[in-house]
Amino acid sequence: MIRPINKRISGFNWESHKYNWWENLESKVGEIAKAGFTSVWLPPPTHSFSPQGYTPQNLYSLNTNYGSEHHLKALLAKMKQHKLRSMADIVINHRVGTTQGRGGIYNRFDGIPLSWDEHAVTSDTGGLGNRKTGAIFQGFPNIDHTQDFVRKDIIGWLRWLRHNVGFEDFRFDFAKGFSAKYVKEYIEAAKPLFCVGEYWDSCNYRGSSLDYNQDSHRQRIINWIDGTGQLSAAFDFTTKGILQEAVKGEFWRLRDGQGKPPGVMGWWPSRSVTFVDNHDTGSTQAHWPFPSDHIMEGYAYILTHPGIPTVFYDHLFEWGNSIRNQIAKLIDVRKREGIESRSSMRILEAKQNLYSAIIGDKVCMKIGSASWCPSASHTQWELATSGHNYAVWRKQ
C-alpha cells in the first residue's frame, strides 16, 4: 500500500558529494521541515565506484563521498525528530565489480558483502546470467534479477536499509532496466512506506519539435506502475516534458484531447510524482533542463495541481531568496487549501500565452504572459500569491 506524501524535496545535486553532504543537510533539516516538506529524497547512501553514488559496489558500506555512516545516521535521526521521511535512492540495475572475471570484465564481486560471481550479471552485459529483462545501462555489469540468489540478497539489503538504517521510502533508479515485477517483489518484502520509480523514457518528438499527443509516453509509465502491482508511483516525465515546452508560449499543450492534464497526472494523479528538475535533468549535468527563466511558472503549476510535487534542492537553496520565498508561498497555499494528489481540477484556459485552472474548488491559478483573473460571478477570490507570469487565488 502506498502512503502518499504531500511535498517532497530532492535533497541533492550532481556536485553534492564534494560538500560533506550529510552534515550540510542536517543543518538544513529544520528549515526544510518549516517550509512544509514531508519527505527528503537523499542520494545513494552506500559505497560507489563514482562519487555521486550511481555505480554501486559495496552495498553494505555506508561510508561514502557524502559523508560517514555516523553522519548519515545523525541526519536520519534529526529528520525523524522533525517528522521528515527519508527516501533512499536504490541503485540495483547495475553494479561495479571488484575483480575481473569472464572476458576480462570486472563482473565479479569478490572480497565484499554480496560476493556474487559472473552468474549475477546478465549475459548481454558480459556475465553468465540470463538476458536483461529491460533496457541495458551501458558500460557496467547489469544485475540479473531473474536469479533467485540475487533477489534474495537484494531483499536482505533492502530490509537492512529499511529497518536497520532507518530509511522509510525508496526511489528506484533506472527503473526501465529490469522488469517491474521484481520491483513489486522487493517492495512487498521490504515494506517501505512509499516508493517511486525513475522510468525515464524519451517523449515523442518530430525532429526537434515535441508532439502534442504524448499518450503513448505516459502509457508506458503507467504500464510500469501496473507492473509493480500499483505499489510504486513514478516520476511524471511526461508532464515535465510538456510543461517545459508549454512555458515558452505554447500553453495549449497543457490540455489533452479529453480536457485533462496531458501527463501521468491527468490519468493517474495519485501515482504521479511531478517535478521541474533534478540532479540529472538540471544541475551541472543539465541533460533535459527546464527553461531557467520560467522556473516559477513550472512550480506554480505542479505545486497547485494534483500529483505528488517535488522541489529541486538547487531551486530552494541556491537560486536566491526570492525563488525560495516564492516556492515557500506556493507550498503554504497547497497545505492551507488542502490540495492533495487526488484533488479534482478543471482547466479553464489553455492557449498560446495563458493557462488557468481551478483545483479542488478552493484554488484558482494562472501561468503565462497574458493578463487574466478568475470570474467573480459565482465565487469571491482573493490573491494568495503571485510572481512573474503566474498568480494563485483562493476562495475568500
Q: Could you list the active site residues?
A: 173, 198
Q: Residue 114: phi, psi to the nearest 5? A: 55, 60
Residues pairing with 392 in the sheet: 365, 385
Distant-in-sequence, close-in-space partners of 286: CB < 8 Å, separation ≥ 6: none
- Helix axes of 295-302 and 321-336: crossing angle, nearest 10 degrees: 10
Q: How far apart are CA 272 and CA 267, in angstroms?
A: 9
Grid-cell match 508511483, residue found = 233
Grid-cell match 516508493, residue found = 195
> Are residues 347 and 254 in contact, defined by beta-carbon separation less than 8 angstroms?
yes
Grid-cell match 511524471, residue found = 236
Closest CA relative to residue 80, chosen from 4, 17, 168 = 168
Report CA-CA distances (Å) from 289 to 166, 228, 278: 32, 29, 9
Helix ranges (DSSP H) in 99-214: 148-159, 180-190
Q: Which DSSP category does 11 fall into? A: -
Q: How far apart are CA 45 and CA 170, in angstroms?
A: 11
> Are residues 66 and 18 in contact, defined by beta-carbon separation less than 8 angstroms?
no
Q: How far apart are CA 75 and CA 318, in angstroms?
A: 20
Q: Which DSSP category does 56 fall into? A: B
Burial class of 349 by CB neighbour count within 10 A (0 to 12, 13 to 18, 19+): middle
Q: How far apart are CA 28 and CA 15, in angstroms?
A: 17
- Taking the CA of residue 49 as centre, how many other CA atoms within 13 Å lie in the half-sphere pointing to its CB? 15
